[in-house]
Structure 1
Amino acid sequence: MPRKSAFRHFLNSVRLMLLAALLVVVAGLITLGMQYRDFLRTPVAMPADGVVVTIPSGMPAQRVARELARAGVIKDWRLFYLHLRLSGKTRQIKTGDYLFVRQLTPAEVLQKLVRGEVLPRQFTILPGWRVRDVIQALQGYGHMLDLSGLPPPNQAQDLLARMQASNEFAEGWLYPDTYRFERGTNALALLGRAYAKMRQVLDEEWSGRAPDLPLASPYEALILASIIEKETGRADERPLVAAVFINRLRLGMRLQTDPTVIYGMGEAYKGNIRTQDLRQPTPYNTYTITGLPPTPIALPSRASIHAALHPADSDALFFVANGQGGHVFTSTYAEHEAAVQRYLLGRKP
């Protein structure tokens, strides 16, 4: 075979091989394109209770894709990573916890990540809790909150100083509510919102208070509200309980309320109050001191603050538990004694 003919044959062979290779590549790209198209359009079934995926700060895009595939949110991490690269949004993914509870296509998954539709976490402060109760509850959120700077429960009164809010006694100053947060939020910042909310609510209620109350400041209203909060959980009774204490303050009578005694006993309280406890002088024993205790004894709700500043129109000076979750309110000591005999001692008049 002449040399030129052999060379042309070789070139033709090469061309055919290249063409075949090109066809294989094109076919592969077409197949990949079809797979990619179907991948983006096909939603993935989620379990009934959903799936939570955490995307921490600084996680590479490829790792994000792998984590989503591991959790079952997408089927193929490679195709999702390809989608990330082609979309140009690898640096737009927001960090946080994502809850996937319904069928989403991979394209919708990416939209969720870019919009930052993170799962809100929440922490609830209950009315009647003490600050130490709040701190104890927060300690169970160490996997979601940054607890650095949070004092231990036995140093709860240092809280406001650590929050750089003020040097006031911390008790009473956190508003009972549910607070949402994102993973990694500092606990002191979260409590700063509760402190600001209590300031706001107290100022609003104080500005609309009833006239001629024997309360010299919003702080005294907060103290009284905390006592009301501990005395009753019934909304209809709060104004009546407030009236009893307001009437006693006006007359210079001692408040004689057990929750303040319990607070003053601290760790010595073991579930019941003895006669000697009522006689033991403490700054919080309202059986031995006249007027309000020096600080709140709990975290009051807005309803209790409102009741303290809007007591019922009543001349009641006493109340006793009726054994059915409520109280009997009376105006004279004789009536009160009869109520005690009936409801506490079970003796009929």
Structure 2
Amino acid sequence: MSDPALLTAIGAISGTSMDGIDVSLVRTDGDARVETGPGQCYPYAPALRDQLLALIADAPRAEHGALDDLEAAVSDAHADAIAQFMTEFSVDRASVRVIGLHGQTVYHRPEKRFTRQLGVGARVARALGVDVVNRFRHADVAAGGEGAPFAPLYHRALASRLEQPVMVLNLGGVGNVTFIDGETVIAFDTGPASALLDDFVLKRLGKPYDEGGRLAGSGQADAAMVASLMKHPYFDRPAPKSLDRNDFHAWAKAVESLGDSEGAATLAAFTVASAADAVRHVPRPPVRWLVTGGGRLNATFMRLLHDALGVPVEPVEAVGWNGDFIEAQCFGYLAVRSLRGLPLSLPTTTGVPAPMTGGELWRAA
């Protein structure tokens, strides 16, 4: 018999790569109890992805533009993806209490107290006949928080039965960590992750990323250059703190003077050095690191992290988590927290002045 304390939620998010919409299912009480379900990614139509990429490249329009038609298209793409997911995995719509619709971030400037994610909650709720929570980050940013990262409380729930302290490292375009030690949760962006290396490999070889870390693994890092890169003032800033995907590109321009393999190796070493430096900003060293995000598939990142940290460093799959869909699951989880009036962010995760509730509820009818 199902536990009435656990609500079924579906989370949906499209990341900064805009490759597609990740959809996943969770059953949760919005606190420490989580049962994860299936996940799937549904690509954007190429024309819609091209429109979104063009928008991201036009910051004034992304911030101020009237985007009604584009937002409607993004909303419909999310609704279609969720409907396809429910059909594919035989999810009864009547069993789904809420959908957590993160949508598509197109502009995020917490220093301006402004963030913009495309996705009309009311439109998706009507299309699917299921209540929707969206606009998760807005209250945090309006109150002076960074509005990111937003997965730490979900990480805490997943890690509740693990030996602690544990560090969850997400290697996306930017690296971020969640330090978990009982009720203590500290989160912040560590520095560059895959963005610098991806863009370097695209420019040099015309490939979207360094598959498996092979190019970086074949070269010798320039240790002096890595040491110079680590002098960026960001690393001495106290946590919590956050970054934009491209914040380190100008700083790392010197790498362009290196050959392909040496440049890739140097950027990989810089990524790992910045992640390892995170230990300076937490109360005590973690006994274990769990790595999520696409960077966990980069064998060079993983080897260098293990060498630098001296404790177990493993992909999150080692503890039964699904690294491809943690973020989608997270927004299903946060939707349940929002329904229950529980905080979505903390002073130690986003720098918000006090534990902050958030999200906006849109009824199906």
Q: Into which bin does the TM-score normalised by the smaller protein fall?
A: under 0.3
The TM-score, its normalising length taken from structure 1, stands at 0.27
The TM-score, its normalising length taken from structure 2, stands at 0.27
